[in-house]
Structures are given as structure tokens and as C-alpha cells.
């Protein structure tokens, strides 16, 4: 143990409804003085060595570090209901910390994933003493990551982890079998535990007032806090961080706040900056950075009353890792101002099925008729999304060569590249399609096709047909009618090297990352009956299906 600090365990912090929350407070030794405070609120239980290791660099740097169990978890009173009480509890905790005799009144918050999102919800209430935030791998608003109207089947794994007051071992459940269960509503019973939080969401399968308590990405104009935004290109909640950085730099409450944002995007998964290698891809010796140095520099700037700490004139900066080239680069906005938005049109002779088909991508649009590509989507045999079973990390730079052997996966590729091509920014597919069903899904995945045959997943997305006009406007489709679908495929920063090809997968499932559409048009999540749908993808002159890539001039 470290002799340079002392810890006050289980300090009770009162909140407005009369309950108390439990906090462990880490103090620097030495001269007693009022110090800035770093607050970490977590549902993952504060009493462990990982939290102790998190506190050490801050205490050594002259901060008081406070680790708190959120309501209903660990040693805190109350009942845990994800996100419902966190904003008010966060506000009350910050203001309580500000008046303690050892506090300077300058409070910064830190946390990743759930502890990241609840910082945003707290910031919406504008606690007067909240001066800065460090938010890692933040979940987005409802239905941004999973635009299906339902939680991802893998979300149940997380709910199992945080059931009760202490963390539950996820590995004791055979999740691959659980994910197969229908109807989705009762999948919790198949996992061995009735879960009210899982079931509550099935009564609100579109964006309505019920979800407003969890939304923050439509309210950036209320937030007046400098934020360090952190994520990785393979974070399974990656889409939120660039959205938040862009939202705060363009819509934050004041010009000063808009100019006081910073983003770090590395070649990492959800557990960011822990390894330089994901799967078979080694991102090189520069992939890991001095994250503690980033943390303390950020809080020094905003929480310490020094000339360096109070300067707010610095431009908003994004520092991003360019994969393929494996280098870091500084940028000043997102998406990048110099982006050349380039359409890569889908083509085939009507047989783009599998990697053995004739699908191609070209910057030239079809000039006349091209036959549509056809495949059958059978919910009993969904296209797999490659991932570990638990929700600790969903997907990575995996090899999809085996998946692309299936005839229900359409594959479109460019010619072999004669020079490096950088794709950095949000990825989008505009798709013209028909289905024999009243509701169905369409999925898309961006692939780097290596000369060796390795097919590296970069990013992906999906659209549920009934939500094609928005998550608040569900409407079933007419079988056989051509609709235009827009699929947001999240973000990447990849140099496709000369000799590689740019690839696109189109299908109708990515299981279990997204639940299977049963193709019947029935209420979502509550039925078990399904039918096979015949899907057609159009790419003729009248229906110019295209992958829109953010090309960065080299």
C-alpha cells in the first residue's frame, strides 16, 4: 500500500430524498489545505484495487479523490434503477463536496461507460461547482447504438452483472444459448434471473417521453463544462464520443465552453488504452499513451487556480490514431473540415452473394439497368456478429472471411488500390431495397480486404425498416415496394494500404449484437413466430445505392 495517502472509508453523503450514499475519500498526506476534488461515481462497486489504482495518480498530484457507489449498489442506500436517480444524486454529491473543509470548491468528475453517461446527465442540471469532466466510452442516447426499438440481447449480460448490490459473475451463464431464446422479453428467465429493468424497456419500443430521462445528446446547449472525451475506434459504444465532441464544440452553452473541449480516439476497445493489440491486429508501440498524464493535465487546467489552469483560449483539439498507418495526429474539429465525401456505388451482375460473387464498388454510378441482388434472410439462421459472449467487449478488428462465404451476405469490393486511401470520419450507406416482409432489417459493415485474404471489420451499422423515418415514427413497410434506407455505420480512421481493397457487407442480421428481426411486423420483442424474408438490393441508375466515405487527402 502507498504511504503517501490516507483513506476515509464509507463516508456517508446525504442527498435530497434523505438517503445517504457511500464514498471512500482518498487524501494526500502533508500540509492540510483546501484541494480540488476528483469525483468518480460507479455502479461497479468502489471497494476494489482497481479503484485504488485509479485514485493514486490524482492523490500524488495534489487532488482529493472521491470514489462513490451509486444508489443501490455497493454500500450506498436505496434501490438501483439504471440512470434514473444519477443526475440528482450527482448534483447533490458535487455540491456536498464543494462545502467540505478540505475542498477548494472546484470539482471535476471522471468515469467511463456507465460512469461516463451519468456525468452528462448530471451536467444537464448545471451544478455550480462542477468545473470539468473526463468522460470515457460514453453510451449514447437510447436507440443511437441499437436503432432497433429493443435493447441488444447482449445488454442483458450487463444487467446481470449489476443485479443486486455486488457484481455478479457473468461467466457463470451460457450466454450464447441465452441469446437464442425467444421471445426476447423473457430472455432474462432463460439466463436464470427475472430482471425488471430488462422488461420495462419492452413497453417503450420507440422514442417517446419515457426515454427523455436518459437523453443528453439533444441538450448540449445546456451544458457549460469543459470535457475531455475519450474512446477507441473499436469501442462497442464508439459512436457516442465523436457525436458528443461535435455536439459540444458546435452547440455547447457558451463560446468559451465550445472552445474548451478535447477528444482522444485511439485504436482501442471499450477497455481503452490497456493493450496495443486487439485480436490479430497489433497497432504498434505508439498505440498506448500516458493516460494518467492526460487526466492530470486536464484537471490542472480547469481545477487549479493558476495561470495555466485558468486559460480557456486554447482551441478545441482532437487527437486521433490513424489505423493502418498506426500514427497519432492532431485535428481541430469532427468530422474533419478537409473531408472529401466520396460515393462508392454498389454494382453487380445480380450475384453479389458471398465473397465469391460479382459485387463491386466504384466511384462511377450505374448508367442504366443493373440486376438487383437477392438473398433470403432467415431469422433461424442469422448472420453472426463475431464477438466474445459477454458484453465486456462486443466485436473488434475481426476476420469476416468465413462469414462472407454465406449466400445471405452480399459483398462489394473495390479494385485493388494502387495507392494508400485514408478513410477518417463517419461512415454511411444509402441503400435502395425491397423485402417480402412487413418489417425487416438491413445491415452494413465496412471491411479492409487484405491481400492475404484477411477481411478486417472496421465499423458497422443497421436500420430496422419500421424505423426508417426515425425512432419516433415507426411505420411498417409495404412488401415488394422499393424504399431508400440510410444506415449509419459509426466512425473509423483507417488507411487502406496500396494492395488492399475497400469492402462492404450488406445483409439483414448481425447477431447477437442486434436482436433478430422476425419479419412479421408484430410488436417487438414479445413474439416467437418468424418468417423468412426475400430481400432485394437495387443499384441501377434509378436507385443509386452508395457507400459514402470520408476520404482525407493524403
Q: Is beta strand 410-413 parallel, antiparallel or unpaired with respect to 501-507?
A: antiparallel
Judge contact between 71 and 19, C-beta under 8 A.
Answer: yes
Q: Is 296 exposed, middle or buried (0-12, 13-18, 19+ CB in 10 A)?
A: buried
Q: What is the pLDDT of residue 31?
A: 77
| Sheet strands (E) in 137-241 | 227-232
Other Cβ atoms less than 10 A from the Cβ of 480: the count is: 10
The dihedral of CA 495, 500, 501, 507: what is its sign? negative
H or E stretch at 426: strand 421-435
Using one digit for the tens of pLDDT, what is the confidence trace for 11-50?
999 999 999 999 999 999 987 899 999 999 999 999 999 9
Angle separating helix axes 49-60 and 291-303, nearest 10 degrees: 50
Is residue 313 scored above 50 in pLDDT? no
Q: What is the pLDDT of residue 2?
A: 58
Q: What average pLDDT does the segment 455-475 reach?
A: 98
Q: Which CATH architecture has domain 340-551?
A: Sandwich (2.60)
Alpha carbon 225 to its chain's center: 21
What confidence category does residue 307 fall into, taking pLDDT thresholds of 50, 70 and 90?
Answer: very low
Is residue 308 scored above 90 in pLDDT? no
Supply 450's cell numbers: 487484405
Is residue 193 scored above 60 in pLDDT? yes
Closest CA to 41 of 103, 87, 6, 99: 87
Supply 469's cell numbers: 423515418
Catalytic residues: 113, 235, 270
Q: What is the pLDDT of residue 316?
A: 66
Q: What is the pLDDT of residue 433?
A: 98
CA atoms within 13 A on the CB side of 418: 0
Is residue 86 scored above 80 in pLDDT? yes
In sequence order, which residues have a C-beta less than 8 Å from that of residue 236 and are 6 or more positions away?
A: 269, 270, 391, 393, 394, 395
Q: What is the pLDDT of residue 165?
A: 95
Is residue 1 scored above 70 in pLDDT? no
Helix, strand, coil percentages for the chain (3-state, nearest 5):
20, 30, 50
Give the chain's end-to-end CA distance (angstroms, integer): 50
Sheet hosting strand 227-232, strand order edge to edge: 5-14, 20-28, 64-69, 35-42, 103-112, 130-136, 227-232, 261-266, 317-322, 327-331
As a whole number of angstroms, the distance between CA 378 and CA 393 comes to 27
In sequence order, which residues have a C-beta less than 8 Å from that of residue 52 and are 6 or more positions away?
A: none
H or E stretch at 258: helix 255-258
The dihedral of CA 417, 425, 471, 186: what is its sign? positive
Is residue 381 scored above 70 in pLDDT? yes
Using one digit for the tens of pLDDT, what is the confidence trace for 469-492?
999 999 999 999 999 999 999 999
Supply 465's cell numbers: 425498416
Alpha carbon 262 to its chain's center: 18
In sequence order, which residues have a C-beta less than 8 Å from that of residue 146 and are 6 or more positions away?
A: 152, 155, 514
Choosing among 1.10.357.10, 3.30.70.20, 3.40.50.1820, 3.90.550.10, the CATH entry for 8-136+219-302 is: 3.40.50.1820
Q: What is the pLDDT of residue 310?
A: 43
Judge contact between 336 and 550, C-beta under 8 A.
Answer: yes
In sequence order, which residues have a C-beta less than 8 Å from that of residue 49 and are 6 or more positions away?
A: none
Q: Domain-by-domain residue ranges, the chain?
A: 8-136+219-302, 340-551
CA R_g for the chain: 24
Is residue 57 scored above 50 in pLDDT? yes
Is residue 312 scored above 60 in pLDDT? no
Is residue 311 scored above 50 in pLDDT? no
Average pLDDT, the chain: 96
As a whole number of angstroms, the distance between CA 205 and CA 179 comes to 19
As a whole number of angstroms, the distance between CA 441 and CA 292 comes to 42
Q: Which residues pair with 232 in a beta bridge?
A: 266
Please tell me whether the overall predicted TM-score, pTM, comes out greater than 0.85 for this model. Answer: yes
Q: What is the pLDDT of residue 30?
A: 82
Closest CA to 225 of 254, 250, 265: 254
Percentage above 90 pLDDT, the chain: 96
Q: What is the pLDDT of residue 395?
A: 97
In sequence order, which residues have a C-beta less than 8 Å from that of residue 456 and are 6 or more positions away?
A: 281, 397, 398, 399, 400, 447, 448, 449, 450
As a whole number of angstroms, the distance between CA 447 and CA 449 comes to 6
In sequence order, which residues have a C-beta less than 8 Å from that of residue 430 and are 6 or more positions away?
A: 484, 485, 486, 487, 544, 545, 546, 548
Amino acid at each position: 500500500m502507498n504511504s503517501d495517502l490516507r483513506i476515509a472509508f464509507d463516508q456517508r453523503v446525504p442527498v435530497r430524498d434523505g438517503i445517504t450514499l457511500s464514498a471512500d475519500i482518498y487524501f494526500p498526506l502533508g500540509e492540510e489545505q483546501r484541494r480540488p476534488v476528483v469525483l468518480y461515481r460507479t455502479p461497479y462497486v468502489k471497494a476494489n484495487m482497481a479503484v485504488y489504482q485509479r485514485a493514486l495518480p490524482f492523490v500524488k498530484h495534489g487532488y482529493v479523490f472521491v470514489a462513490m457507489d451509486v444508489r443501490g449498489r455497493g454500500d450506498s442506500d436505496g434501490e438501483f434503477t439504471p440512470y434514473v436517480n444519477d443526475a440528482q444524486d450527482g448534483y447533490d454529491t458535487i455540491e456536498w463536496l464543494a462545502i467540505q473543509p478540505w475542498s477548494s470548491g472546484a470539482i471535476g468528475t471522471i468515469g467511463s461507460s456507465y460512469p461516463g453517461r451519468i456525468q452528462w446527465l448530471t451536467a444537464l442540471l448545471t451544478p455550480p461547482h462542477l468545473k470539468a469532466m473526463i468522460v470515457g466510452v460514453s453510451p449514447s442516447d437510447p436507440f443511437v447504438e441499437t436503432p432497433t426499438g429493443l435493447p441488444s440481447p447482449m445488454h442483458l449480460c450487463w444487467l446481470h452483472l449489476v443485479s443486486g448490490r455486488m457484481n455478479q459473475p457473468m461467466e457463470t451463464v451460457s450466454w450464447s444459448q441465452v441469446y437464442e431464446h425467444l421471445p426476447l422479453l423473457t430472455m432474462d428467465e432463460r439466463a436464470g434471473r427475472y430482471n425488471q429493468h430488462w422488461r420495462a424497456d419492452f413497453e417503450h419500443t420507440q422514442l417517446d417521453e419515457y426515454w427523455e430521462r436518459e437523453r443528453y445528446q439533444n441538450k448540449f446547449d445546456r451544458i457549460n463544462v469543459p470535457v475531455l472525451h475519450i474512446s477507441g475506434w473499436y469501442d462497442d459504444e464508439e459512436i457516442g464520443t465523436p457525436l458528443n465532441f461535435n455536439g459540444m464544440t458546435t452547440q455547447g452553452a457558451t463560446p468559451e465552453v465550445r472552445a474548451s473541449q478535447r477528444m482522444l480516439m485511439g485504436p482501442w476497445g471499450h477497455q481503452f488504452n490497456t493493450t496495443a493489440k486487439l485480436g490479430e491486429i497489433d497497432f504498434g508501440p505508439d498505440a498506448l499513451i500516458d493516460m494518467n498524464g492526460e487526466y492530470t493535465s486536464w484537471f490542472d487546467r480547469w481545477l487549479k487556480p493558476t495561470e495555466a489552469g485558468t486559460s480557456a483560449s486554447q482551441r478545441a483539439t482532437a487527437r486521433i490514431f490513424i489505423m493502418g498507418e498506426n500514427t497519432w495526429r492532431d485535428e481541430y474539429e469532427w468530422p474533419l473540415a478537409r473531408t472529401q465525401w466520396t460515393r462508392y456505388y454498389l454494382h453487380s451482375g445480380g450475384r453479389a452473394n458471398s465473397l465469391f460473387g460479382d459485387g463491386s464498388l466504384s466511384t462511377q454510378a450505374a448508367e442504366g439497368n443493373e440486376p438487383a441482388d437477392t438473398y433470403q434472410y432467415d431469422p433461424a439462421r442469422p448472420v453472426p456478429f463475431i464477438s466474445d459472449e459477454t458484453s465486456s467487449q462486443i466485436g473488434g478488428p475481426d476476420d469476416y472471411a468465413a462469414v462472407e462465404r454465406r449466400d445471405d451476405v452480399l459483398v462489394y469490393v473495390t479494385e485493388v488500390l494502387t495507392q494508400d486511401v485514408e478513410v477518417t470520419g463517419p461512415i454511411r450507406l444509402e441503400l435502395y431495397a425491397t423485402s417480402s416482409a412487413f418489417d425487416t432489417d438491413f445491415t452494413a459493415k465496412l471491411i479492409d480486404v487484405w491481400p492475404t485474404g484477411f477481411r478486417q471489420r472496421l465499423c458497422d451499422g443497421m436500420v430496422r425498416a419500421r424505423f426508417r423515418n426515425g425512432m419516433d415514427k415507426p411505420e411498417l413497410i409495404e412488401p415488394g415496394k422499393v424504399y431508400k434506407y440510410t444506415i449509419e455505420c459509426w466512425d473509423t480512421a483507417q488507411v487502406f494500404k496500396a494492395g488492399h481493397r475497400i469492402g462492404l457487407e450488406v445483409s439483414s442480421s448481425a447477431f447477437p449484437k442486434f436482436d433478430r428481426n422476425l419479419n412479421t411486423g408484430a410488436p417487438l420483442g414479445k413474439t416467437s413466430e418468424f418468417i423468412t424474408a426475400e430481400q432485394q438490393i437495387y443499384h441501377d441508375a434509378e436507385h443509386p445505392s452508395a457507400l459514402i466515405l470520408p476520404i482525407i487527402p493524403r
